[in-house]
Amino acid sequence: MKPARESWTTKLAFILAAAGSAVGLGNIWRFPYVVGENGGAAFVIVFLIIVALIGLPLMVTEITLGRETKKNPIGAFKALAPNTPWWLVGAIGVLAGFVILSFYSVVAGWGISYFFQTVTGSLTEGTDFEAAFFDHVGQGFAPVAWHALFMALTGLIIGLGIVKGIGRAVRYLMPVLFILIIMLVIRGVTLEGASEGLQYYLQPDFTSITWQTWLDAAGQAFFTLSLGMGAIITYGSYLKKDDDVPGSASWIVGLDLLIALLAGLAIFPAVFALGFSEADGPGLAFITLPAVFAQMPFGMFFGAIFFLFFSVAALTSALSLLEVVVAWLVDEKEMSRPKASALVSFGIFLLGIPASLSMGAVDIQVMGMPFFDFLDYLQETFLLPIGGLLTLVFAGYVFTASKTRESANENSTSFKLGVWFEWLIKYITPAAVVIILLAGLFL
């Protein structure tokens, strides 16, 4: 017999789990370097506009579809539109979960390794951090082993289920996350010379905004909010009918923005105060930051705190990526949860191996880029925007916008969505995503 489907034990459990999904490497690793590559404060403003226009409406829509159907993404589309090909949108999501987690786990593995290396002193004040980074990711064995450890941990928690696994993990980890980031912000803004970084981060120069800025902001919004692949549909499916959708969605988006903005506040003052370049791209977290820490009093202590923060945030996000695939196998294929979790974790571990090796150990290229970059390109340019767009079209025209709004408003204790919400998800949000998709293909 199939065990009953679980649900979150409290309202807070859902918000913490979904915020845990959202807050991750997207906030700590990606957001600061995308801001750095796009000229600072002006990018932050464009990003906030995109979050309001695309992120929040899609967040509400995904939670609603999940709560309405109580199913994994494929099952959710099947339940609302039986005998149509709409389930394929859910299938894109399951595929995206697999793809994203395979390289996400590799980066998370670097983070864990850096935590241990800072604690044990093999990364220290005198290290050449650039050489150390390329040396680390370019090794064959070590990064793959850390990736394996991270996937094993993620698989273990997901195998325990919604209440005993995800719910319990986020209840302890999310407060830890918050304390760690506050420590880092205080350290950053109290450094001598921090004001130049603050200015860069907080004073917009609007002439620096281009099409590429909007494109990067949209890619960042999908990724950081965990949207476009049914992760939030899945988490929403464990809600009870009497939970508040518009209120929870606002909390989740708000917490994710807060942590991203705080991460910038922790990083930019330090980068500027110590004379580093803000535009160091993906290496910002692993090369620039350790070098920054090395120059601060008690720097390696704060370095360890940073990489602990990094690893914990990655873990609570990875849970949601794995859960999408596992929920599909449990709901639709009647597989037992521990078995599904073990099987999928192992599969993702395997796909992550070439991703990890392509960072320097072995020359593995697809479409002229390292396999690792190819996976990231795949999710950013196609999987998430197309998944998000089709989800909106489904909610707006197949399930219908009025029913989506009605369902989202049901039992809401905070505020109710007005008719404007129907306009948003029918016209404005999909149009914004289409423009961005086209710009991504042709720019």
In the complex with ligand TRP, which residue's Cβ is closer, 112 or 274? Answer: 112
List the one residue from 15, 17, 18, 22 that touches ligand TRP (CB under 6 A).
22
Least separation, in Å, of the C-beta of 300 and ligand TRP? 25
For residues 319 and 151, give the distance between their C-alpha atoms in angstroms, rounded to a whole number: 10
For residues 392 and 103, give the distance between their C-alpha atoms in angstroms, rounded to a whole number: 27
Least separation, in Å, of the C-beta of 314 and ligand TRP? 7
List the one residue from 226, 237, 404, 429 that touches ligand TRP (CB under 6 A).
226
List the one residue from 8, 43, 98, 223 that touches ligand TRP (CB under 6 A).
223
**Tokens 């993906």, residue?**
282
Distances (CA, A) of 433 to 16, 392, 408: 27, 10, 22
CA dihedral 320, 324, 327, 331 (to 10 degrees): 150
Least separation, in Å, of the C-beta of 303 and ligand TRP? 20
In the complex with ligand TRP, which residue's Cβ is closer, 123 or 395? Answer: 395
Helix, strand or coil, per DSSP, at residue 369: strand
CA dihedral 253, 284, 345, 164 (to 10 degrees): -50
Structure tokens at 349: 């571990």
Helical spans, DSSP H, in 168-238: 168-189, 194-202, 211-224, 231-236
List the one residue from 13, 26, 327, 436 that touches ligand TRP (CB under 6 A).
26
Nearest 5°: the CA angle 389, 23, 379 is 40
List the one residue from 8, 14, 16, 21 that touches ligand TRP (CB under 6 A).
21
Torsion sign over Cα 8, 380, 27, 412:
negative
- Is 25 a residue that touches ligand TRP (CB under 6 A)? yes
Distances (CA, A) of 138 to 141, 285, 363: 9, 17, 11
For residues 277 and 287, give the distance between their C-alpha atoms in angstroms, rounded to a whole number: 11
In the complex with ligand TRP, which residue's Cβ is closer, 105 or 118? Answer: 105
- Binding to ligand TRP in span 378-397, by CB under 6 A: 384
- Is 16 a residue that touches ligand TRP (CB under 6 A)? no
Residues 75-104, mask of contacts with ligand TRP (x by CB under 6 A): -------------------------x----
For residues 209 and 148, give the distance between their C-alpha atoms in angstroms, rounded to a whole number: 40
List the one residue from 320, 358, 409, 429 that touches ligand TRP (CB under 6 A).
320
User: Which span (16-24, 335-343, 400-408, 415-423) binds ligand TRP, by CB under 6 A?
Assistant: 16-24
For residues 394 and 391, give the distance between their C-alpha atoms in angstroms, rounded to a whole number: 5
For residues 202 and 48, give the distance between their C-alpha atoms in angstroms, rounded to a whole number: 13
In the complex with ligand TRP, which residue's Cβ is closer, 313 or 417? Answer: 313
Residues 244-263, mask of contacts with ligand TRP (x by CB under 6 A): --------------------
Backbone angles phi, psi at 411, to 5 degrees: 65, 20
In the complex with ligand TRP, which residue's Cβ is closer, 13 or 324? Answer: 324
Nearest-CB residue for ligand TRP: 26
List the one residue from 14, 19, 27, 87 that touches ligand TRP (CB under 6 A).
27
- Is 284 a residue that touches ligand TRP (CB under 6 A)? no
Least separation, in Å, of the C-beta of 195 and ligand TRP? 29
**Residues engaged in binding ligand TRP (CB under 6 A):** 21-22, 24-27, 100, 223-224, 226, 229, 231, 317, 320-321, 384
